[in-house]
Amino acid sequence: MLLRKVSQSSALCGTILRIPPVLSGGQRQAGVVALQNSRLYASEAAQAVLEKPAAVGSDAATKVENKAAAAESKSFAVGIFKGQIATAQVFPFPSVLSQEQEQFLRELVGPVGKFFEEVNDAAKNDALEKVEDHTMEGLKEMGAFGLQVPADLNGLGLSNTQYARLVEIVGGHDLGVGITLGAHQSIGFKGILLFGNPAQKEKYLPKLATGEHIAAFCLTEPASGSDAASIKTTAVQSPCGQYFTLNGSKIWISNGGLAEIFTVFAKTPMKDPKTGEMKDKITAFVVERSFGGVTSGPPEKKMGIKASNTAEVYFDNVRVPADCVLGEVGGGFKVAMNILNNGRFGMAAALSGTMKSSIAKAVDHAANRTQFGSKIHNYGVIQEKMARMTMLQYVTESMAYMISGNMDSGATEFQIEAAISKIFASEAAWNVTDECIQVMGGMGFMKDAGVERIMRDLRIFRIFEGTNDILRLFVALNGFQSAGNQLKGLQKALKNPLGNAGLLAGELTKRAKRKAGLSTGLTLQGTVHPELAQSGELTVKAIEQFGLVIEEMLIKHGKKIIDEQFVLKRVADCAIDLYAMVVVLSRASRSLSQGHASAQYEKMLCETWCMEASDRVMRDIKLLRSGESRKLFKNLRAISTALVENGGPVSPHPLGF
Amino acid sequence: MSGRVLVGVKRVIDYAVKIRVKPDNSGVVTDGVKHSMNPFCEIAVEEAVKLKEKKLIKEVVAVSCGPQQSQETIRTALAMGADRGIHVEVAGKDYETLGPLQVSKIMAALAKKEDAQLLILGKQAIDDDCNQTGQMTAALLDWPQGTFASEVSLDGDKVKVVREIDGGLETIKISTPAVLTADLRLNTPRYATLPNIMKAKKKKIANVKPADLGVDLTSRLEVLKVEEPPQREAGVKVETVEDLVGKLKETGRI
C-alpha cells in the first residue's frame, strides 16, 4: 500500500497524509490512545498495553522515548510484528544452569518423582475432592511449598528453570495438586517475592515456605473476570493513614478455603496529583485471615482439578495495616499483571509433563493393541495422531524452558512469549489428551484408565490465569503497539525526508521487496543449524509476510484495530505459530550441534512442525488480506447478533415444528 | 564406645529399569541408565539414622565404593540423615571387577580406621545378589555378625538382632563392635525431602583411594559371558495322562 502510494505521488510527503489516524497527532502510544477510554474487553490486555509504556517512562514518555524503547526490544515476539527477527532471546537455546545448579536439580528430581508415584494418589484426591491429609503433610515436609523462596527464609531458592523441571513432574502426575501448589506459590505469595519490602518478606515468607501458612491470589469477583480493572472490592484508607478498611467479595479463589495469607486487589480512592479529583485505583494488599472479618465459603464443585480447593472469600470491614500494602498504593494493577506474567512459564512446564504422561499411555496402548491383525500403531490414522501429539509436546516443552531460561538470564521482556506459551500449552495439552483417549478407544473413556480425569483437569487451563481469548488479544495488541510505534518513527522521518534519506530509502526498498515476495535480506542462515536451513527459510518468509500484513492492518484500520477482534485473533494465531517455529528451530539446532542421539529425530519434528505452521500462517495472512475476510467477519458478527436477539438458534426446525 | 556407625551404600541400576544385555555379552548396559541406591542399603541407612535419632549412637558415616557417580548415592544417604560421607574411588577396570571380596577388605579397613561401633550393610545388592559382603567383612574383622536383620535393638555394649531365616525368626545377642546386614522388613526408609537434600550439600564427603587403605583390588574372578535367560518356549498340550508320562520320559525329565 505504502509502495503504491509512493509510486503514485512523487512527493514522499504525500504519503504522510495517507498514513492514517494511527500516527497522526500521536501524543503517546500509537494506535493505543483510544485505550484511555476502553470499555469492552481485555482490560487486562488493554490496560497492560496502556500501562506498560506508563511503566517504562512516566509522563515524560515522548514519541522518541517510546520509539527507543520499542526499537531496542529484545523480544522475538515484538520483533516479528515489525517484520524483524530478534534472535537474542531465542538463539541459541538457553542453557542457564551452572554445574552446581544442575547437580542439585538432578538430586531433587528423583525424590519428587518418587513421592508422586508412591505417596500421592491422584485418583483418590479426585474422588475425595481434596488432597489427602498425609499427602499434604508429605508435600510440606518435602519442601514443595517454598520452591522459589530464598533459602535463608526456609525455601529452596530455586531458579525458574529448576522450578519448571520440578513442576513438570507434578504436572505429569496430579494437576489438582499442581494447582494447589501453584495457586500458593506461583501466584498466591509471588507478589511478596516480587514486590514485598524486606520487612514483609521476613514476616511472611518463612511460614509460607514450609506450608504452615497457605496463600491465595484474590482478584476475580462475580462481575469482574477478564475485565480485572473493573473490580469493586474497596479499601478505604483511614484518616490517620494507619490502616485500610477492606470490603468486598471474591469468587473462585484457589486455596480460598485453606489460605491464611491472601494477596487481595481492591480499589483505593486516591487524589490525582495533577487534577486534584478523586480517582479509584487498584492497590494490592497482603491480608491475613487473622485480621478478622475474612471468611470463606464452601468448596466449589468443579469439573476437574477437584482436589484443589476453590472457594469464595468475603472481606467484611477488614482492618488492613498500611504496611501491608504490596508495592505502591494505586499500583495494584501492575502488581497483578506482573504476578500473573511471572508465573505463566510454570503452566507450560507443568502441562508439558502432563502431555508426556498422556502420550506414554497412548503409546503403550497403540504398541500392544492388535486389531485387524496388526498392532494399531502400524496404521496411518494412529500414526498421524501420535506424531501430532509428540510434536505438540515438543513445542510446549521447548517454549517452557526457553522462557524460563530467558527469565533466569535476566530478560525483562517476555510477557508476550509467556502469554503465547500459556495459550499454546493449554490448548496443546487438551488436544493431546483428547487424542490419547481416542487412541485408547473405549478404554480411554473409563475412569480406571486415568485419562478422563486428566481431560477434566485440563479444561480449566484454557480459562484461568487469563483466558486464552483475552491473551490472544493481548499478544496482538501488544504487537500492534510496538509496530505502530515504529511506523510513527517512520512518519517523523518522513517529515524530514532529506535528513533521513538513507533510512527512508532503506525502508522503501524493504517494503517493495516484501510486497513482491522477494527476500529482504532477512535470514536465519548462520543462526540455525545448516541441516534446518529449509525450515529456517520457511520461517523467515512467514515473518516477512507477517510484518507486512501487520503494517497493512495498521494502515487500514488505524486506531480502530483494537476493535477488530476477528483480525486480532488471527494475528495472534500467526504470532503463536511463528514463535513455535522459532523455538523448535532453536532446540533442534542445538541438538544437531551437540550431536545428540535424538538429533535426527528432532530434525524431523522441527521440519514437520515448520511445514504445517508456515502453511497456517500464510493462510491466515492471505485471509486477512483478502476482501473476503470482510464478508466473513461481517457474517460471523451478524449470525451472532441474530442468535442473541433470538435467545437461541434462529432457524426454524426442518420439520417446521 | 565411639558411637560411630558406618553404613555401606551401593549405587546400582534402579529396580524399575528394564535391564538389557550388551550386544557383546560382556555385561549389562549401564550407560545412560537410571541408577539409584540399592534398596537394602536404603534400609541400612534408615536404621542407622533411627539409632542416632534415638540418641543411641552419635554419628552416621555413609561409605560407597565406585566411580565419581557414587557420590550421588552418598548424597542421598546424607539427605536421609547421615552426618558425613566417605567416597572410596574405584574406577575403570577395577570397578568392573569390584566384588564382595574387595569391598569387604575396604570396609574392614575403614571400620578399623573410623573406630566404628557398628557396620550396617544391606543384606545383598540387587544387581549381583551376592549376599556376601557383610559376612566377609565380619570374618576379616573377626567381629560378630547379625545378618538378615528384621529388628535391631541396642543394649549397652550388646546388640539384639532378630534374623529372618528359612525356618522363621531367630533372635541372637551379639557384642559390639559388630556387622549387621539389613533385610526387607527392618524398617521403611524415609523420603529424602528437598530441604534435607539442600542441607546435605553442606555435609562433607571425604575422598579415599583403596591403596591408602592398603587394599589390593585384584579380582580372583573373571566374567566369561553374560546372557539373557532363555526365552520361555511354548508348551505342548497332551490328551491323556499316559501321553503326559510318555512325553516326560521322552524329554528325559523322568
- What pLDDT digit, counting tens, does each position of A276-298 carry? 899 999 999 999 999 999 999 99
Predicted confidence (pLDDT) per residue in A207-243, tens digit: 999 999 999 999 999 999 999 999 999 999 999 999 9
A156 touches chain B (CB under 8 A): yes
pLDDT band for position A27 (50/70/90)?
very low
Catalytic residue among A397, A413, A417, A465: A465
Instruction: Look at the alpha carbons of A345, A348, A350, A356 in this order and tell me if their dihedral is positive or negative.
Output: negative
Q: What is the pLDDT of residue A501?
A: 77
- For chain A, the average pLDDT equals 88
CATH 1.20.140.10 for domain A470-639, yes or no, is yes
| Bridge partner list, B122 | B182
Strands (E), B42-133: 59-66, 84-89, 118-122
**Which of A540, A546, A511, A544 lies closest to A527 in space, CA to CA?**
A540
* Residue A512 cell numbers, joined: 517493495
Is residue A58 pLDDT above 90, yes or no?
A: no
- Listed range (A115-124, A429-438, A449-458, B28-37) with the worst mean pLDDT: B28-37
* Start-end of H helices in B164-237: 194-200
What is the Cβ-side half-sphere exposure of residue A88, based on CA atoms within 13 angstroms? 15
Instruction: Please report the beta strands in chain B, taking only residues with DSSP state E, as ranges in sequence order.
Output: 4-8, 11-13, 35-37, 59-66, 84-89, 118-122, 145-155, 158-165, 168-175, 178-182, 205-208
Interface A:B, Cβ pairs < 8 A: 41
SS (H, E, C) A290-334: HHCCEEECCCCCCCCCCCCCEEEEEEEEEEEEHHHEECCCCCHHH
B88 by DSSP, 3-state: which?
strand
In this prediction, residues A645-653 reach a mean pLDDT of: 93
User: Given its phi and psi angles, is residue B32 left (phi above 0), alpha (psi -120 to 50 degrees) or beta?
Assistant: left
B115-155 pLDDT, tens digit per residue, is 999 999 999 999 999 999 999 999 999 999 999 999 999 99
State how far the Cα of A341 lies from the Cα of A421, in Å rounded to an integer. 11
Whether residue A36 is predicted with pLDDT greater than 60 in this model: the reply is no
Q: How many residues does chain A have?
A: 657
Angle at Cα A551 formed by Cα A548 and Cα A553, nearest 5°? 110
Distance between CA A77 and CA A86 in Å, rounded? 8
Contact B48, B121 (CB under 8 A): no
On chain B, the residues whose CB falls within 8 A of the CB of A107 are: 72, 75-76, 79, 197
Q: What is the pLDDT of residues A97-106, one digit of tens each?
A: 999 999 899 8
The Cα of A244 is separated from the nearest Cα of chain B by a number of Å equal to: 37
Residues sharing a CB contact under 8 Å with residue A320, sequence separation 6 or more, in sequence order: A235, A243, A244, A245, A246, A285, A287, A291
Asked if B191 is an interface residue toward chain A (Cβ–Cβ < 8 A), one would say yes
A60-100 pLDDT, tens digit each: 333 443 444 445 689 999 999 999 999 999 999 999 999 99
Question: In this model, does residue B236 exceed pLDDT 90?
Answer: no
DSSP string across A166-226: HHHHHHHH-HHHHHHHHIIIIIITHHHHHH--HHHHHHHHHHHHHTSS-EEEE--BTTBSS
Three cell numbers, residue A238: 483511614
User: What's the pLDDT tens digit per position in A372-390?
Assistant: 999 999 999 999 999 999 9
How far apart are the C-alpha atoms of B121 and B72, rounded to whole Å? Answer: 18
Query: CA-CA distance, A419 to A593, in Å (whole number)?
Result: 29
CB within 8 Å: B194 and A142: yes
- pTM of full prediction above 0.90: no
A112 interfacial to chain B (CB closer than 8 Å): yes
Q: Chain B window 75-134: which residues touch A at a Cβ cutoff of 8 Å?
A: 75-76, 79
| Exposed/middle/buried for residue A57 (C-beta within 10 Å: 0-12, 13-18, 19+) | middle
The full set of domain ranges for chain B reads: 4-251
pLDDT for A517: 65
pLDDT of res. A341: 93
pLDDT digits (tens, 9 = 90+) for A289-338: 999 999 999 999 999 999 999 999 999 999 999 999 999 999 999 999 99
Distance CA A542, CA B147 (A): 70
Indicate the domain borders of chain A. 470-639
Q: Which residues of B touch A104 (CB under 8 A)?
A: 197-198, 201
Hey, CA dihedral for A619, A622, A623, A624, is it positive or negative?
positive
Model confidence pLDDT, tens digit, residues A359-368: 999 999 999 9
Residues in B touching A156 (Cβ below 8 Å) = 194-195, 198
Would you call A141 a catalytic residue per the annotation?
no
Phi/psi at B10 (5° precision): -115, 140
Q: How far apart are CA B144 and CA B138, in angstroms?
A: 6
CB atoms closer than 10 angstroms to residue A116: 21
Q: Please state, in angstroms and as integers, the Cα–Cα distance from residue A585 to each residue in A387, A392, A402, A546, A617, following that order.
A: 17, 14, 12, 18, 16
Q: Is the pLDDT of residue A509 over 90?
A: no
pLDDT at A265: 97
Per CATH, which fold does B4-251 belong to?
A: Rossmann fold (3.40.50)
Contact check, Cβ <8 Å, A143/B194: yes
* Residue of B75, B76, B195 with shortest CB distance to A143: B195
pLDDT band, very low/low/confident/very high, at A566 (cuts 50, 70, 90): very high
Query: Which residue type, as a one-letter code, is found at position B103?
Result: V
Q: Which residues of B touch A114 (CB under 8 A)?
A: 191
- Provide the 3-class DSSP secondary structure of residue A112: helix
